[in-house]
Structure 1
Amino acid sequence: MHWTFSDEQRALRDRALELAGELGRSDDLAARDRDGVFSRDDFRRCAAWGVLGSHVDRRWGGRGRGAVDTVLILEAIGYGCRDNGLTLALGGQMWSVQEPIEVYGSEEQKQRFLPRLCSGEWIGVHGVSEEHSGSDALALQTTARRVDGGYVLDGRKCYIGMAPHADVALVLANSDPEAGKWGVSAFLVEKGEGFSLSPPRAKSGTRTNPLGDLVFEQCFVPEENRLGGEGVGLSLFTHTIKWERAFIHAGHLGAMQRLLERCFEYSRQRRQFGRPIGDFQAVSHRIAEMRLRQETARLLMYNVAAMKDRGLDASIECAMAKLHIAECLLASATDAVRIHGARGYLEEFEIERELRDHLGGVIYAGTSDIQRNLIYDLLGR
C-alpha cells in the first residue's frame, strides 16, 4: 500500500510543521523532563491552531477534519516538537475524552464541554483504571449511587495521564454493581467539591505529561452530566478504546522519523577505526530496521485512519496498529541508544529520554499482550 497525499494535505502538514517548530522554543525541555513540568502554554498554542478540535465537528468548536488529516497533523507535530509528553497529552484528550462526548453526548453536553476542550480552556482526562483493575478494565470498585437529581461517586482512579491538570474527567463507575460490566455508567465530572486530584506520581518517561489519581469522596454529579444512559459504560469504553488504540501514537510516528534521521546522520559523522560507523553492519542494519519499522508503522496507522473515515469498524486493524507501533517505538529507541553508545546513555544528548518516553507505549491504552489476545480473538469472528 502506498500513500499519496493531496496538495492540500501536504500544505496542511507544512503548516503543522511550522507550529511544531514554535513549540518549546523558549524553554528547557530537559529541565521540564527532570521536574515533570507540563507546558500548558504549548497545549493552548496547539488548541488555538486547531489541533485539539481537528476531528470534532464545527458545530461544537472543532475543525471537522477526517482521521487521515488529523493523523497527518499529529505526526507533523511529533516530528517537529521534541516534547513527546505534549503529543501524548493532545492525543489522550482527543481520542479518549472528546471522541466519546461527540458520539454519546447530548446536544447540551456537546455544546457545554466540547468548545472548552477544543479551545484548550479545559483539560479533559479519561478515568477508567483503578489500582486493582488494569487490563481487566471494567472490574471497577468506583461506585455511582443514585440520589435525588443525580449520583454520588466514591472511589479512586489511578495511573491517569494529565490527572494533576484535569478540569473535567470522563469517569466510568458502577451504577449497578450486581449487573457486573453491564452496570457500568459514564459521567462527566467537573472539578469541585468531592473531586480531588493527587500530586503527580514519579514515573520513568513522558514526564512532561504528569500522571496521577482522581479521587472521589461523596462527589455529587448531576444527572445531566451522565454520558449516555445507565449501563452504557461498556459500549462507550469499547468504542473509545478503539480510537485510542489506533491513534494514541500518531504524534510518536513523527518522533520515530525524527529519531531515524538523527541516527542516520550520526552514523555518517561518527568515525571509529578510521571509518564512519555506518560502514559497520552492526550499525547500518539497526538503522535499516528503524527505517522498516517507521514505514510499516505509518502504513498501519494511515490504513486504520482511512478505514475510520469510510465508517468501517477496523477492530482488528486498531489492535494491530497499537501493538506494532508501540513495539516499533520501543525497539527503535533502544537501537538509537546502542548506536550512540555512551552518548545515548547520557541525559545531555536526549537519546535516553526517547527510550524512557516510549517504554510506556507497550502498557497504556492496552498492553501489547492484550492487543495480541484481541487480534487472536477477532480472527475467529
Structure 2
Amino acid sequence: MYEWTEDQKALRHSINEWSEALNTEYPEDMADRDVFLKRWETVKQTGITALLVAEQYGGLEQDILSAMYVMENFGRICDDAGLSFGLSTHIVSTGLPIQRFGNDAQKEKYLPLLAAGEKIGAHAITEAEVGSDAWNMDTHADKNDNGDFVLNGSKTFCSNGPIADTFIVYARTNADAGTLGGFTAFIVDKGTPGFTQGQPMHKMGLQSSTLCDLFFDDVVIPKENVLGKEGQGFSIFNYVMKWEILISFVINVGEMESLLQKTIAYSKHRKQYGEPICKYQAVSHKIANMKIGLETSRAMLYKAGSDMHRKVNSTTSLAMAKVVTSEAFVAASLDAQQIFGGYGYMKEAGIEKYLRNSVASKIYSGSSEVQRNTIASMLGL
C-alpha cells in the first residue's frame, strides 16, 4: 500500500522491545486505574506519548501516516486494549489540539509534560442527556468582570477522567450563536477549585481505560486558558475527531491482526475428528473473512489518513473507514470466539476480551448510525 521509509520502519519497530513489559500480568483484584498507571510507566519509556508533539517541546513531530503506522503496531503488540485506548485519548484529545491551536505560553506550559507522559490528558464533551447530539450541551461558561470564564455543568463518559491531569473541556459560551460560534474549548487543570473528577465507572470492556463523570461548579477559568479563539470549540473538536478516528481505529487494526494470528495458530493446533480444524471449510472461511475485514479496514483507514495528509476533503473517507473497521472488528471477534469454542469463552484463553472490547468501537468516536448519516449527507441524501 505504502512504501515506508527506513526511519518510519525503525520507529514502528522500536516499540517491539517493550511488548513483554506492556503485557505484564497484575493481580486480578488490582483496581483498573492502578493497572493502567502501572503500565503507563512503560508507555512513557517507549516515547510514544511524544509522537505528534513538535520537537521543540520534546516531541517526535510525526505526520499522520507515520503516527498511524506506529500506533497500528502498538495495538498489535499490546494485549491491554484499555491501555491502548487511553493512550490514544491522551495523544489525540489533549496534546494534539494544544499543539495545533494553543498559543506559545500554553505550548510551553503543557506540551513538554504531555509529550513525556508525565501528565495524562483527556477531553470532555459528552453529556448524559444529549449523547450524540453533543452541541445541544448544557455545560456553559460565562465571562466575569475580569474577562475570565466561570464554568458550570457536567460531562460524562470522560476517558482517562479519573487519572488525567490536563483536560480540554468544551462548553457553550454564546447562547445566541450557532454551532460554529457558540462553543469554546478550555484547558482545565486537575485540582482547579470547583472541578470534581467522579469515581471510575464499571464497563463491559476496555477495562483499564478508566472513565468517569466530571462536575464543574463555578469553576473560574482564566482567559489565558481559552484554547484557540473564543467560539472556536466546534472547529477544534472537529479537528480532534478526525485524528481520533484514524489513531484509535488503526490501533484496532493492530488488535485485529493479533487476533487473526492467534486464531490461525489455534486452528492449526486444535484437532477434531483426527484433523486440524483449519482443514474444515466452516472454520477456514471464518478465518478468511477475518483476513478480508482486517485488510479492508487497514486500506480504508490509510486512505482516509492519506486524504487528510494531502489536505483533501476526508469527511466521507473517515466516516466509511470508521464504520468498516468497527464492524469488522466485532465480526472478527465473533468469528474467533466461534472457532475457539468453549475454550474461547473462558477468560483465561484471552479471546473473549476481544469481543467485549470491540463492541464499544461501534459507539465511541461517532456511532455507526451517525457515521452513516454523514455518508448519506455527503451523497446529497
Q: TM-score range by the shorter chain?
A: over 0.9
1:365 and 2:353 are equivalent in the alignment: no
CA-to-aligned-CA distance 1:115-134 (integer Å, 9 cap, x gap): 11111111111100000121
Structure 1 residues 344-363: aligned runs within 5 Å: 344-363=344-363
Deviations 1:51-107 (A, max 9, x none): 121122112221111112211211111111101111111111212222211121111
SS at match of 2:60: coil
The DSSP-based 3-state class of the residue aligned with 2:216 is: strand
Tell me which residue corresponds to 2:98: 101
Q: Is the 8 A contact 2:199 2:212 kept in 1?
A: yes
SS state of the match for residue 95, structure 1?
Answer: helix
Segments of structure 2 that go 5 or more residues without pairing to the other structure are none
Match of 1:74 in 2: 71
Corresponding residue number in structure 1 for 2:125: 128
Q: Name the CA distance, whole Å, in 1 between partners of 2:178 and 2:41.
A: 39
Residue 235 of structure 1 and its aligned partner are, at CA, apart by: 1.4
Q: 1:305-330: per-residue Cα shift (whole Å, max 9, x none)?
A: 23333333422111111111111111
Partners of 1:99 and 1:11 lie apart in 2 by 23
Give how far 1:180 is off: 4.2
Structure 2: distance between partners of 1:309 and 1:209: 29
Task: Indicate the SS of the match to 1:163.
Answer: coil
Query: What residue identity is the alignment partner of 2:14?
Result: R
Partner SS, residue 176 of structure 2: helix
Which of 126, 129, 140 pairs up with 1:143?
140
- CA–CA distance in 2 between the matches of 1:77 and 1:235? 29
Supply the distance in 2 between the matched residues of 1:93 and 1:295 (Cα, whole angstroms): 27
Partner of 2:16: 17
Q: Are the equivalent residues in 2 in contact too, given 1:307–1:313 (CA < 8 A)?
A: yes
Residue identity opposite 1:155 in structure 2: G
Q: What's the counterpart of residue 225 of structure 2? A: 225
Q: Contact conserved, 1:345 with 1:352, CA < 8 A, in 2?
A: yes
Asked whether the equivalents of residues 56 and 63 of structure 1 are also in contact (C-alpha less than 8 Å), the reply is yes
Amino acid at match of 2:186: F
- How far 1:347 moved relative to its partner? 0.8
Match in the other structure for 1:276: 276
Give, in angstroms, the shift of residue 39 of structure 1: 2.2
Q: Which residue of 1 aligns with 2:216?
A: 216
- Structure 2 Cα separation of the partners of residues 378 and 20 of structure 1: 41
Quick one: which of 37, 50, 58 aligns to 2:47? 50
| 1:174 aligned residue | 172
Within 5 A, what are the aligned runs for 1:293-312?
293-312=293-312
Instruction: Identify if the C-alpha distance between structure 1 residues 244 and 234 changes in structure 2 by more than 3 Å, giving closer, same or farther.
Output: same
- Distance across 1 between alignment mates of 2:315 and 2:71: 22
Bigger mean CA deviation after superposition, 179-188 or 368-377: 179-188
Aligned pair count reads: 378
Q: Which residue, 156, 159, 162 being the options, matches 2:157?
A: 159
Q: Does 1:64 align with 2:61?
A: yes
Change (3 A) 1:238 1:21: same
Given the superposition, is the C-alpha separation of residues 29 and 272 from structure 1 closer, same or farther in structure 2, using an over 3 Å criterion?
farther
> Residue 165 of structure 1 aligns to a residue in which SS?
coil
Q: Distance in 2 between matches of 1:24 and 1:264?
A: 21
Deviation at 1:187, TM superposition (A): 0.4
Q: Which amino acid aligns with 1:274?
A: G
The one-letter code of the counterpart of 2:42 is: R
Contact 2:94 2:166 in 1 (8 A): no
In the TM superposition, residue 31 of structure 1 has moved relative to its aligned partner by 5.6
**Aligned counterparts of 2:95 and 2:313: Cα–Cα separation in 1:** 19
Question: Structure 1: which 5+ runs fail to align?
Answer: none
Preserved contact between residue 21 and residue 42 of structure 2 (Cα < 8 Å): no
Question: 1:281-326 CA distances to partner (integer Å, 9 max, x unpaired)?
Answer: 1111110000111111111122222333333342211111111111
- Mark the CA change 1:329 to 1:323 in structure 2 (over 3 Å): closer, same or farther: same
Q: Are 2:87 and 1:87 aligned? A: no
Query: Counterparts of 2:313 and 2:206 in 1: how far apart (Å)?
Result: 30
Q: Which secondary structure state, in structure 2, belongs to the residue aligned with residue 253 of structure 1?
A: helix
Distance 1:29 1:300 in 2: 39
- Aligned counterparts of 1:81 and 1:30: Cα–Cα separation in 2: 18
Moved over 4 A (4+): 29-32, 34-37
Residue pair 1:37, 1:210 contacting (<8 A) in 2 also: no
TM-score by structure 1 length? 0.94
Q: TM-score, normalised by structure 2?
A: 0.94
Q: Return the letter of the residue paired with 2:169.
A: V
2:189 aligned with 1:190, yes or no? yes
RMSD across aligned positions (CA): 1.8
